[in-house]
């Protein structure tokens, strides 16, 4: 089950559509959906998590904690709405597109995709773009 939680004023306006989309991506990647919690928050909230749990004193747009077991995808995905807004402006895309990219980025990590090397990041971006098209 996919749950959307809010630690900020932001509310996802198309949550049913996004939830169905995430479920389809998980299925398309050959996995099964477990419990996935999205938490939309601000920079301070996510920064505190980054420092406390990852020892990274930096701002980021997403942090995911993967609790997947075998082929069952589950975990907690924290997304800073402030970072998404800033990144959308920097990348010259709509807020909605950047938000959807970040939402699916966490799921793709759970499916085994990485983004630490240039080659891995390129494949991750291709997957993101592929699945973004299926939402529109």
pLDDT digits (tens, 9 = 90+) for 54-73: 999 999 999 999 999 999 99
pLDDT bucket at 44, cuts 50 / 70 / 90: very high
Class of domain 2-135: alpha beta
Find, among 10, 4, 129, the residue nearest to 78 by Cα.
4
List b or e across 68-106, with b for residues whose CB sees 16 or more CB atoms inside 10 angstroms: beeeebbbbbbbbbbbbebbbeeeeeeeeebbbbbbbbb
Which residues are documented as binding site for Zn(2+)?
105, 109, 115
CB atoms within 10 A of CB 39: 19
- pTM for the model stands at 0.94
Percent of the chain clearing pLDDT 70 (strictly above): 99
What does the pLDDT read at residue 83? 97
* Average pLDDT, rounded, for the chain: 96
pLDDT at 136 over 70: no
Give the DSSP H/E element, type plus range, for residue 1: none
> Given a cut of 90, is residue 24 above it in pLDDT?
yes
What does the domain layout of the chain look like in residue ranges? 2-135
How many helices, marked H, and strands, marked E, lie in the chain?
Answer: 5, 4
**How far is it, in rounded angstroms, from Cα 86 to Cα 26?**
28
Alpha carbon of 27 to those of 21, 36, 52, 136: distances in Å?
10, 14, 33, 18
Q: Given a cut of 80, is residue 93 above it in pLDDT? A: yes
């Amino acid at each position: 089950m996919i749950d959307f939680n809010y630690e900020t004023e932001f509310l996802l306006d198309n949550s049913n559509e996004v939830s169905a989309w995430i479920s389809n991506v998980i299925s398309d990647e050959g996995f099964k959906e477990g419990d996935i919690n999205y938490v939309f928050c601000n920079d301070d909230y996510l920064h505190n998590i980054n420092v406390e749990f990852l020892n990274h004193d930096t701002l980021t747009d997403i942090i995911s904690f993967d609790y997947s077991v075998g082929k069952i995808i589950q975990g907690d995905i924290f997304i800073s709405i402030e970072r998404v807004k800033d990144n959308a402006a920097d990348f010259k895309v709509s807020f909605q597109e950047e938000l959807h990219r970040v939402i699916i980025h966490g799921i793709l990590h759970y499916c085994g995709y990485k983004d630490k090397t240039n080659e891995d990041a390129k494949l991750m971006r291709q997957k993101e773009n592929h699945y973004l098209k299926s939402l529109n």
